[in-house]
Amino acid sequence: DIVMTQSPDSLAVSLGERATINCKSSQNVLYSSNNKNYLAWYQQKPGQPPKLLIYWASTRESGVPDRFSGSGSGTDFTLTISSLQAEDVAVYYCQQYYTTLAFGQGTKVELK
Amino acid sequence: QVQLVQSGAEVKKPGASVKVSCKASGYIFTSYAIHWLRQAPGQSLEWMGWINAGNGNTKYSQKFQGRVTITRDTSASTAYMELSSLRSEDTAVYYCARGLGIVGSAEYFHHWGQGTLVTVSS
């Protein structure tokens, strides 16, 4: 099974500053026949289900602010929040859907 | 709009079973897969299995094979997840999520239920 590892486990960022979260998969999640990375990102706030932010590694979900962006390919991926807002305080998860679904352990983003 | 509404919190004793429901609305129930995932307190998400809501075919995570059963009632647009032989480590919030289509593989999730807390305690 593919193991997803996020870094860091937690991150404190000032309002308006950039937040960067990394996600590494133990195996390649790029499907060569369609050149798509089977990688999604979610945001979860306390007491709520996860909210989809990004899929296919870099496609933003409808309604998600453009300060959220995803990048990377193969085994290494990044979620960037370009200018942190107070409402972005949450836990962020990456998920691969190349094989049996698996999630990273989560990265907690807090205000500095 | 797509809605998935789950049943309420449960408290069970070790060794018992629990059955959680997920009522769908806002789309054609039999045209999509329903997945079940869980999240233990302070932990990440764990995929348990899925059901083809059209024909009832299922696939389970190896971790839960033999202990989990996912079913559906098309007349009620409702999917169910039953977990047996409960132990304290099964204490978690259980979520249903709608698939992208009927197939159930290569899925990410736009739509989630609100979650159901299952507490296993003697």
Alpha-carbon distance of B98 to B35, in angstroms, equals: 6
Alpha-carbon distance of A63 to A85, in angstroms, equals: 16
Q: What is the mean pLDDT of residues A69-82?
A: 98
Q: Which of A28, A20, A33, A16 is nearest to A85 (CA)?
A: A16
Q: What confidence score (pLDDT) does residue A19 get?
A: 98
Q: What confidence score (pLDDT) does residue B106 get?
A: 84
Q: What confidence score (pLDDT) does residue B101 get?
A: 85
- Count of CB atoms situated within 10 Å of the CB of B72: 23
Q: What is the pLDDT of residues A11-56, one digit of tens each?
A: 999 999 999 999 999 999 999 999 999 999 999 999 999 999 999 9
Q: What confidence score (pLDDT) does residue B104 get?
A: 76
Contact B108 A102 (CB under 8 A): no
Distance from CA of B30 to the nearest CA of A (A): 22
Q: What confidence score (pLDDT) does residue B120 get?
A: 98
- Residues paired with residue B11 on neighbouring β-strands, in sequence order: B119
Q: What is the pLDDT of residues B58-110, one digit of tens each?
A: 999 999 999 999 999 999 999 999 999 999 999 999 999 999 888 878 899 99
Alpha-carbon distance of B122 to B120, in angstroms, equals: 7
Is any Cβ of chain B less than 8 angstroms from the Cβ of A6? no
The band of A67, judged by pLDDT with boundaries at 50, 70 and 90, is: very high
Query: What does each C-alpha distance from A86 to A42, A45, A82 come to in angstroms?
Result: 17, 12, 13
Q: What is the mean pLDDT of residues A79-93?
A: 98
Q: What confidence score (pLDDT) does residue A110 get?
A: 98
Q: What confidence score (pLDDT) does residue A96 get?
A: 98
B-chain residue closest to A37, CA distance: B106
Using the structure block, give the residue that is written with the tokens 């329903």.
B34
Q: What confidence score (pLDDT) does residue A99 get?
A: 94
- Indicate the helix (H) or strand (E) that contains B99: none
Contact B108 A97 (CB under 8 A): yes
Residues of B in contact with A105 (CB under 8 A): 43-44
**What's the whole-number average pLDDT of chain B?**
96
**What's the whole-number average pLDDT of chain A?**
97
pLDDT over threshold 90, residue A5: yes
Q: What is the mean pLDDT of residues A90-102?
A: 97
